Structure 1
Amino acid sequence: MNGAAPIGDGIFQIAVPITNNPLGHTLVYAMESPNGLILVDAGWDDDNGWNGLTAGLAEIGHSVKDVEGVVLTHFHPDHVGLCGRVREASGAWIAMHRSDFDEFELMTAARDQEFLNFHRQNLINAGAGPSDVAAFELADAPQAPTTSASKPDRILNDDERIPLAGRELRAVHTPGHTPGHVCFHLEDADVMFTGDHVLQKTTPHVGAFQYPMEERDALAEFLASLRRMKSMNITRGLGAHGIPIDDVAARSDELVAHHEERLSHLHEAFGDDELTVWQVAERMKWYKPWGDISPLGKHMALAEAAAHLRHLVARNLAVQVPDRAPAVFVRVE
């Protein structure tokens, strides 16, 4: 997919490239507003992404200077990265939910020795062995994926209305993929911009990145957000990646069922063993054998395993064994 196109209901879709990433693009959406354009997300922060965004805007008869504001679904760099360049070119405001502001600060932190030391200890807390820790360190990106120039300057609240030309977007807080993930409902068209919360062909990543166990139950948040989405009975969804969603409610149901199945499988996979978070990840089902997954892939899988384990603990289906380092967990019948 390349370029930009009108997709009906006054919505323009712009495919902004993500360099060297299998996702290929972030789909940015543009709609006319009282003072120009509102964008849903902005895209990856490099010249390739910038050229894709500016060329796409030109294809729909606009310039980046026409952008009045950017509403962000969440803090990930393929969504927020270009905000700094957009704001510099147009004076646009940038809005994101409060719960993702702290996460944005972490994303732009320097990849210095303190950063590496934290992640090394975090992996040790998960039960990773020396060779696995070393593999992560070798694979670690030397630079932050975006800069503080892209920091949002407005807070988005649940149910906030963003003025468009003769209509409005409604912000719908849908935590799970990130703490402050927001979808945007174009009510007059029965369309939901779903960001990375609901995707037609892909199961969004839900992870817990602090080991052995975060206070936040990200998977519980995600499941509750999916049920909220289902209750809204919206037909058409436009995600940040992939094809449009034909039935948002039905797809939300499918995603809930997927995670319930994964939770059930993980509970059974424990057997009678005591497992570290790393061993939990090894026993979960992935798209390929655990040993064949890249260090970065294992990083994402480990976080997803930790989120599922955290939710089993919340459901009283697993428990942490006291006074063990690294921490271990056992199944509860």
Structure 2
Amino acid sequence: MLDAAAIGDGIFQIPVPMSHNPLGSTLVYAMESPGGLILVDAGWDADEGWAGLTSGLESIGHSVSEVEGVVLTHFHPDHTGLCGRVREASGAWIAMHESDHEMFAKMSSGRDAEWMDYQLANLTQAGAAQEDLDAFRAATGSDVPVGPESAPDRLLADDEIVALTGRGLRVVHTPGHTPGHVCFYLEDAEVMFTGDHVLQKTTPHVGNFVYPLEERDALAEFLDSLRRVQTMDVTRGLGAHGIPLDDVAGRAGELIEHHEERLEHLLDAFGDDRITVWEVAQRMKWYRPWTDFHPMAKGMALSEAAAHLRHRVAGGGGARGGGPAPAGGGRAVWRGGA
């Protein structure tokens, strides 16, 4: 585990642990602001995470009570979970792009069976078998990972400037991983906080795990967002997980190439077969066999498969066009199909 530290350009990095997750931690960044500190993201809501955040701030000479505000890269619980505790300790405001507010509200609406029923309904519509639904229920439980106490109370808009001490942090809307994902650009230092948009070794998940069968072309948004950051003057990328990037544009290009290859595989492997979206996810090429996936990971793979399929149906991914069309339980989501 990394220690909290000053990493240059007036930036402090605080690793917030989440031992239940293979990623190990969420990297939270702190910078001085007119009212104290601005945090980029907050970390997973657990006692170990709270201890990591508070002790990390103390080790760099600050306190959680000094936090003026938290700017969120996106709504996922490993980024938003501790916002409620931070606000209670400091009175901080919490800001998120408006396109993720609805998703956060769905995710945090209640710690009861309603959340589970919502997820199971999406999996059923995609064509998941009963055994898959039972496994998902058993593995994930009914509690949502973040509660309404962490809800944002401010909106972030593209190109908005968040005030820091003597400088500003620019909001760069980069949808794809989520509808409202944003990066934050520290222009005077040519540093970009990339959240989960561009990571050094991890290929970010594309699509919406809360609503995997959404109508928006999340992959097109993601590819456009990658191209956008390629055009910006960034000498150092600081992601929410893993090591810093010294070539954000180059890594963005690798991610674009990865998804273009995945789209080609989608077409070559399935041809004109009419299969459910769940079956598409089963047949796609992943980093490990489908049978070895944790039930929650299958849900995330489903939303990524649906994003690639939607992009094909919308005519994206090259001149070949065509590709698999959803059938069975997955047909209704396309409202008429391809």
Length-normalised TM-score, structure 1: 0.94
Provide the secondary structure at the position in 2 that maps to 1:134. Answer: helix
SS of residue paired to 1:303: helix
**1:142 corresponds to which letter in structure 2?**
S
In 1, Cα distance between the equivalents of 2:299 and 2:11? 36
Distance 1:58 1:111, change over 3 A: closer
Work out whether residues 3 and 52 of structure 1, in 8 Å CA contact, stay in contact via their aligned partners in 2: no
Structure 1 residue 88 and structure 2 residue 72: aligned?
no
SS of equivalent to 2:133: helix
Unaligned runs of 5+ in 2: 316-320
Tell me how far apart the structure 2 counterparts of residues 208 and 165 of structure 1 sit (CA, whole Å).
35
Matching residue of 2:203: 203
**1:32/1:267 Cα in 2 relative to 1: closer, same or farther (>3 Å)?**
same
Alignment partners' CA distance in 2, 1:299 and 1:176: 17
**8 Å Cα contact 2:45-2:77 kept in structure 1:** yes
Identity of aligned residues (%): 66
Give the conservation status (yes or no) of the 8 Å contact 2:271–2:324.
no
CA distance in 1, matches of 2:128, 2:241: 32
Shift of 1:84: 1.1
* Structure 1 residue 19, shift from structure 2 partner: 3.4
Partners of 2:198 and 2:330 lie apart in 1 by 35
- Provide the aligned C-alpha RMSD in A: 2.0
Q: Does 1:37 align with 2:37?
A: yes
2:245 aligns with 245
SS at match of 2:118: helix
Alignment match, 1:290: 290
Q: How far, CA to CA, are the matches of 1:101 and 1:249 in structure 2? A: 29
1:212 is displaced (CA, Å) by: 8.2
Cα shift readout 1:100-153 (whole Å, capped 9, x = no counterpart): 111111111225344333333322221212222221122222311111111111
Instruction: Out of 213-222 and 117-126, give the one that drifted further.
Output: 117-126
Over 6 Å off, 4+ runs: none
- Contact residue 212 and residue 327 of structure 1 kept, 8 A: no
Q: Give the Cα separation in 1 of the matches to 2:326 and 2:16.
A: 47
What is residue 318 of structure 1 aligned with on the other side? 323
Structure 2 counterpart SS, 1:65: helix
Q: Find the aligned partners of 2:91 and 2:171 in 1 and give their Cα distance.
A: 22
- 1:162/1:325 Cα in 2 relative to 1: closer, same or farther (>3 Å)? closer
Residues 2-81 of structure 1: pairs in structure 2 closer than 5 A: 2-81=2-81
The verdict on how the C-alpha distance between 1:119 and 1:132 changes in structure 2, with shifts beyond 3 A counting, is same
| TM alignment of 1:134-213, pairs within 5 A | 134-209=134-209, 213=213
Deviations 1:186-229 (A, max 9, x none): 00101000000000111000124478842111111111100001
Aligned length: 330
- Pair 1:56–1:134, CA change in 2 (3 A): same
Q: How far did 1:303 drift?
A: 1.2
Cα deviation per residue 1:243-262 (whole Å; 9 max; x = unaligned)?
A: 00111111111100000000
User: For the Cα contact (< 8 Å) 2:115–2:143, is it kept in 1?
Assistant: no
**Aligned-partner Cα distance in 2 for 1:208–1:238:** 23
TM-score (norm 2): 0.92
